[in-house]
Amino acid sequence: MKEKQSLAASPVSVIIPAFNEEAAIGDVIRDARAALESEQRPAENVEIIVIDDGSTDATARVAEQAGAKVIRHEGNLGYGAALKTGLRNASHDIIITTDGDGTYPASVMGQLVQELESCDMAVGARIGKDVHIPWERRPAKWILTKIAVYLAEKPIPDLNSGLRAFRKSDVMRFVNLCPSGFSFSTTITLAYLCNDLLVHYIPIDYHPRAGKSKIRP
């Protein structure tokens, strides 16, 4: 773990994978910027990167209009592939990832960054009072978490949350191990825990998404 230091003014890169999220992406970008900009961290120190993963709607245009840097994949390469592209193009060491569908609360982003003063990864854990995880996804999530806890030998309140903060200098050690699909988040959590990196969990709410889910069974 890195030595404790204040991160209140540290530059931050926010990476947002997006596939056909024109209905939500603009608000996601604006909310992230509002949550992170301050007198200590001016606008030029908040980089927001949207990876448009082969969208067929106006996701890229809406994201650009909202002030994000947009990188486009020609086809739908997958959630993990989009995160990898974002990581390789991020300008700052402090990274936040979130989804483009408006399900995660941007209001806790500053808290996640501050939490990195005492850990290596801070995860927004969907264990708050207002959590809307579709019932059809809960059995698989429960089984996967049980397996992960057994492997890591540590409690894991939320294995695959898409809202998390970490340092690029840490995560790039594991990027080539991570798959291109939705299991990227699961893999990176296990990689940190199994390599004795410290992961903290911050309880968050999880809102119903805007539009139809892009997750395919």
Closest CA to 45 of 132, 113, 105, 141: 113
Does residue 34 or residue 152 have the better pLDDT? 34
Q: Is the pLDDT of residue 67 over 90?
A: yes
Within a domain: residue 7?
A: no
* Residue ranges making up the domain that contains 174: 12-203
* Strand order across the 69-73 sheet: 69-73, 46-53, 12-18, 94-97, 164-167, 121-125, 199-203
Within a domain: residue 212?
A: no
pLDDT at 2: 53
Within a domain: residue 209?
A: no
d(Cα 65, Cα 58) in Å, to the nearest integer? 11
pLDDT at 217: 33
Within a domain: residue 184?
A: yes
Say which residues have a Cβ less than 8 Å from residue 168's Cβ, sequence separation at least 6. Answer: 13, 87, 90, 92, 93, 94, 95
Among the residue ranges 19-23, 29-33, 70-74, 191-195, the one predicted with the least confidence is 191-195
Q: Is the pLDDT of residue 152 over 60?
A: no
Closest CA to 72 of 12, 14, 19: 19
- Where residue 216 falls among pLDDT bands split at 50, 70, 90? very low
- Where residue 215 falls among pLDDT bands split at 50, 70, 90? very low
pLDDT cut 70: percent of the chain above it: 80
Given a contact cutoff of 8 angstroms between Cβ atoms, the answer to whether 117 and 6 are in contact is: yes
Question: CA angle, corner 178, sides to 94 and 4, nearest 5?
Answer: 30
Does residue 59 or residue 176 have the better pLDDT? 59
Within a domain: residue 193?
A: yes
pLDDT at 95: 99
Q: Is the pLDDT of residue 192 over 50?
A: yes
- Where residue 147 falls among pLDDT bands split at 50, 70, 90? low
How many other C-beta atoms can be found within 10 angstroms of the C-beta atom of residue 139? 9
> For residue 79, what is the domain's CATH number?
3.90.550.10
pLDDT at 149: 55
Within a domain: residue 191?
A: yes
List, for residues 79-91, the tens digit of each pLDDT value: 999 999 999 999 9
Within a domain: residue 215?
A: no
Indicate the average pLDDT of the chain.
Answer: 86
Given a contact cutoff of 8 angstroms between Cβ atoms, the answer to whether 89 and 109 are in contact is: no
Within a domain: residue 99?
A: yes
Residues in the chain: 217
- Where residue 181 falls among pLDDT bands split at 50, 70, 90? confident
Q: How would you classify the pairing of strands 164-167 and 121-125?
A: antiparallel
Backbone angles phi, psi at 49, to 5 degrees: -115, 120
Query: How many domains are there within the chain?
Result: 1
pTM of the model: 0.85
